[in-house]
Structure 1
Amino acid sequence: MEPLERVLREEWGRLLALLVAWCRRVDLAEDGLADAFEAAARTWPEAGVPARPAAWLLTAARRRITDALRHEVVAAGKVPLLEVDASVQQHAQRVLAAPPEGEAVTDERLRLVLLCAHPALSREAAAALTLRLVLGVPTEDVARLFLVPTPTMAARLTRARRKLAGARFAVPPPDELAARIDVVADVAYLAFTTGYAPGSGSDVLRADVAGEAVRLVRVLRSVLPPEARTTELDALLALMVLQHARRDARVVDGRLVLLPDQDRRRWHHDEALEALDLLRPLVGAPPAPYLLQALVAAEHAIAPTAAATRWDRVVDRYDELLALRDSPVVRLNRAVALAERDGPEAGLAALAGVALPGHRLPSVRAELLARLERWDEARLAYDTALALCRNEAESAHLRARRGLTRGGRSSASP
């Protein structure tokens, strides 16, 4: 990975949070940081990567923000330039020297997440803005997660930023914090999804992004009063940890490896055991979306082999989930589970009427058709999936699977 790309993934959220705390403007902070990265892309290849890349970017962003503030003041004609410069410098020193008095959390990114979960925003807007600002997820990938066109998502993000103008950058009091837990949980899981199944680029898995989402939930649980912790928050952490425990088995020599074909010796079993311990006291709790998904993941974790998975219980969990929250994604996953329990014909029948943008629906159809030896239909479905896929690793996997149909054979399950 290139140095600038590494810094973008590892430092974007922290740097942006520092800049928002400093200038109290999300729009200025984001524009200034983006300009700093653009300057680095021009400068670093010739001048070399600085010893402290994050500090270089932070300084460059501050300069651009200061220039933007000075231009705004000049346009308004309200105060002398020197007074603006002095005010900005004093504010920067005051904010960056220490977190606000009484702050229970010192993690800047968590404060930024809580800002994005502000009550002024809808839950969807909060999640989208957090993905974009905290983790630097490209707008195109955020749009894919929300199943909308990229221009639509770009407009939503702009409106969300405007609504946060003047909002306080701090951890809210316990009563208000509790009201935001569900929003932050949804944000964290969407962030995890961007790392676990990148929509674009060359990566099979962005373990750093997925790991950051897991860390976000851990930090949130650690700062909440015991009475504010919820079953769903514990279930969410268990779900994410169970999936993240498989990260090293999902990729072999840069190739995507699907769950049935993974070498389970490469799973992080200590993490899986931690997640199962979290789930144990939740068994028997009222059905809830994250809990049901975590119980599905647990079925995979406790099965010694893919063939030993209790698909009957997995289908039952998806049936419960559909009753709570019907969605094309849940129906797609249920169809895969049905195919494993009752055969590919049952899986195809369950897909009838499902509409889902992107390549995952046609890729599952292609696999099921191949298992039924309906080769021409399978190749057509693979072609459809390939035309829609924007992830290079997944495209390579689909091309390989399609290649198997030319000889009239297919061996792997979805």
Structure 2
Amino acid sequence: METITNGLQWFVNLGASVMLPIILFIFALFFKIKPSKAFKSGLTIGIGFIGLNLIIGLLTKNLGPAAQDMVKNFGLHLGTIDIGWPAASAIAYGTVLGSLAIPVGVLANVVLLFFGLTKTLDVDVWNYWHIAFTGSLVYIVSHDFALGLFTMVVHVMIIYLLADMAAPAIQKTYGLEGISFPQGASAPGYLLALPLNWLMDRIPGINKIKLTPETIQKKMGIFGDSGVMGLIIGIVIGALARYDITKTLQLGVSTAAVLILMPRMVSLLMEGLAPISEGANTFVKAKFPGRDLYIGMDSALAAGNSTVLSSALILVPLTLIIAVITPGNSVLPFGDLATLPYMIAVMAAVFRGDIFRTIIGGIVNIVASLYIASWVAPLVTQSAKAAHFAMQGNSSISVLSDGGVWTTWVIVGLGKIMSWGGIGIIGIVTLAIMVWYNKFRSKKLVKAN
């Protein structure tokens, strides 16, 4: 068992740029795509991910220090530090329970696909750290290893259901044909955005505001261009960080570069994914007539969208202000300030690429995330200690990108209060909705067409 666990950990440590091409190459061969074409597709995806990571690294390298300086300038003194997803994923995979997340997630995906309860073929196995995170927290609460494993199964079912439901909006808004986002930090935003979008459609005045990158560029000319918008936003953030003119201009140009280059890296990724997606759907339709298949990918594919990235950059200083004025919040936003695009990626798709609605939805999401992350902080801190994560004294830690999503609050909350009964109820309800959505609803849609 230990050998298998170590082998899986080694594979995960290869990183997305190596791990995903290998997985997708194997899938492509299974879907009867020619080996040469499968190899080229996998390699193109790996190159695309390296390019994407370089651009995200550019954003993080420049935005991270600016955010830190803004924290100092605003004089924030909150008791719990937001450690960000890189550290949170290390903690999640660092527990004995968390190390089993990948086989649990893959097995659940295969079973659900076989019975037609999901359309998402999840190749983004790295992001199973999200289920490792909740499983570890429930284990900390219950001291029940089996319940921790069951929690991971239930959580991944919720993620696949949300990914299936959000996929049409994602594909339409971002032009990502055959793609879904089964990512624990992004997918829950779908159910948060739906009622907000419904409400804003019915508020006089608000329902007339249409603020997409296209309408901005049309009305503002050169100032609506993605690169120019990035320059302006970067300069504003630099000013808030009290940078000198040199560093402010450098941050502005770097931000502009991110807005221009990231969509091009996503295009490269999609170039590699296209043959595999087509092959997968051809295979599924031949074996299971009437069924569609989505390739589950990281929401980084949407992070380069002008709406997502512009809204996220505007939300960075707003998040710090919200953290200060939100009563009862104990979390100091820091580590995940640079990963706000992931948190709002699915929400922006529901809002049909509208920047105004995405910012409003992002504010609501951040307020909720701060409260949930504050509530779960003691459990995250305990889990970090169990994973032998380097801690400074008795400091309290949490994470916005996963510790702050509503799925964590529901799963861990019911696990804490009701143990097996609470998690079991969530599992049964999720399974029932899966059956309705992918069985009965699909049949009605087929008949209607």
The question of a shared fold, defined as TM-score above 0.5 by the shorter chain, is answered with no
TM-score, L = length of structure 1: 0.27
Larger Rg, first or second structure (1 or 2): 1
Q: Which has the higher helix share?
A: 2
Q: Relative contact order, CA 8 A, sep 6+: which one is greater?
A: 2
| TM-score of the superposed pair, with normalisation by structure 2 | 0.25
